Structure formats: structure tokens, C-alpha cells
Amino acid sequence: MDFQRRYVLGLPQLDPVLDSLVEAFTSVYELWDIPFANFMMTSALEFITASCFETSITAFTAVNRPGRFPWFLRSRTSACIAYSAMIFPKSGNHDFSAFLRAAPDMEYFSAATNDLLSHVFLPLCGDESLINDFLRFHKEYLVNESNNYIHHRAHAEGKSLLQILSDIKREIIIASENAIDVLTRFGNEASVKAWQELEFGLVCV
């Protein structure tokens, strides 16, 4: 078991980090019900694994028609399922089935909102004095990063970046509406409030 834990990622130099990760995983069950905690752990592991390989994908080769790889990669490197599960602790008596139904839209809203802000905030800002304050929102724009979901998707779908950004903006609105609808119908008031607060934080922080 110790051997597997040390070398499962092929990166034994990360052993101290993995030790801390095991400790963190163990404590998760103190604050979250088992299904929520399980989703948080699997999301974290997918994030670690996918992130190790993400930088090696320097050129995206499109197939004969738009494929789902851009979102598959983004989904695993965002860890947004974990972040979404975190807002539903035991104290709120949240229904996991409601979370499960809303999870795809919550994940997309969180990841796509981050990507949208990363690409459009600086051009809309127009004030160089604000760069340091809002660096995290336009980090990809500043360094002309193209190894990301928006560029991969634009390549795969044969669209311009502006077209993709417009599509994502529309999809974010739909995802928000879907998540609220599902949590309202299948969850409880605490679940709806928790998600609305996370939405507000993602957009307005």
C-alpha cells in the first residue's frame, strides 16, 4: 500500500505532498457525508493526474468533427466538482441526489466562468493601473496562453475565440439556471443558498 501511494503518479519526489493529501482526505469525512467526500477525493485525484499531463498537450489536433476532449481535459483540471461538493457540509442536511443532478451544471459554471474572466477581463478593464489587483483574472491573456480550454475548443469547432467566448457566455447562463432549478426542486433551501453564494463569489469577488 505504501509503495502504491508513493508511486501511483510516477512522481516519488512528491511523497511529502502525498502524505499531506492522505491526511487531508481522512479529515474530509468529519465535515462532509460520505458521498460528498468521495466526490471531493476523486475530483482531487483527477486534478493531480490530469495536471501532470496538461502541459504536454502543446498542440491540439482536431478530429474530423468537433470532439469532447477539450471539455474532458478542462473538467479534470478544474477540480470544480470538489469545490461544488465543499459547499454542502453535513450541517446543512443536503441531499446528495440533488447535488448529483446539479453537479454537471455547477461544474461547468465554475470552470467556464473562470476561463471567461481569464480571457476577457483585461480588454474590458482598459485601466493598466488595475493590472496587479486583478492579475489572477487575466493571467492567461497576459502571457498569450493558448494551451487551454478556450483555444482547444476553438480549434476543435473551427470557430474564432470571440465566437467561443460568446458560446461559453450563453452556456454559463444556462448552467446557472439549470443548477438553481435542480437544487430548488430536489434539494432544500440551504442547498440553493449555498450554491447562490458560490456563484456570487465566482463572479463578483
Q: How far is Cα 117 from Cα 125, in angstroms, rounded to an integer?
A: 11
Q: Is residue 134 exposed (0-12), middle (13-18) or buried (19+ Cβ within 10 Å)?
A: middle
Cell of 68: 469532447
* Residue-level pLDDT at 33: 96
User: Could you give the maximum distance between any two Cα atoms of the chain, in Å?
Assistant: 54
Q: What CA–CA distances, in Å, run from 53 to 23, 70, 82, 172?
A: 25, 14, 20, 27
Contacts of 197 (CB under 8 A, 6+ apart): 87
Contacts of 140 (CB under 8 A, 6+ apart): 115, 118, 119, 148
Q: How far is Cα 191 from Cα 92, in angstroms, rounded to an integer?
A: 7
Q: Residue ranges per domain, the chain?
A: 12-204
pLDDT values of the chain reduced to their tens digit, one per residue, 205 residues? 343 444 455 555 556 777 787 888 888 999 999 999 999 999 998 998 898 888 787 666 666 666 788 899 999 999 999 999 999 999 999 999 999 999 999 999 999 998 888 776 544 444 444 334 333 434 555 556 677 888 888 888 888 888 999 999 999 999 999 999 999 999 999 999 999 999 998 877 5
CATH of the domain spanning 12-204, picked from 1.20.120.140, 1.25.40.10, 1.10.760.10, 1.10.600.10: 1.10.600.10
Whole-model pTM: value is 0.79
* Residue-level pLDDT at 24: 83
Q: What's 41-69 look like in SS3?
A: HHHHHHHHHHHHHHCCCCCCCCCCCCCCH
Q: How far is Cα 16 from Cα 99, in angstroms, rounded to an integer?
A: 33
* Residue-level pLDDT at 42: 93
DSSP label at residue 16: H
Cell of 198: 458560490
The 10s digit of each residue's pLDDT in 74-121 is: 999 999 999 999 999 999 999 999 999 999 999 999 999 988 887 765
Q: For the chain, how many helices (H) and strands (E)? A: 10, 0
| SS3 state at 67 | coil
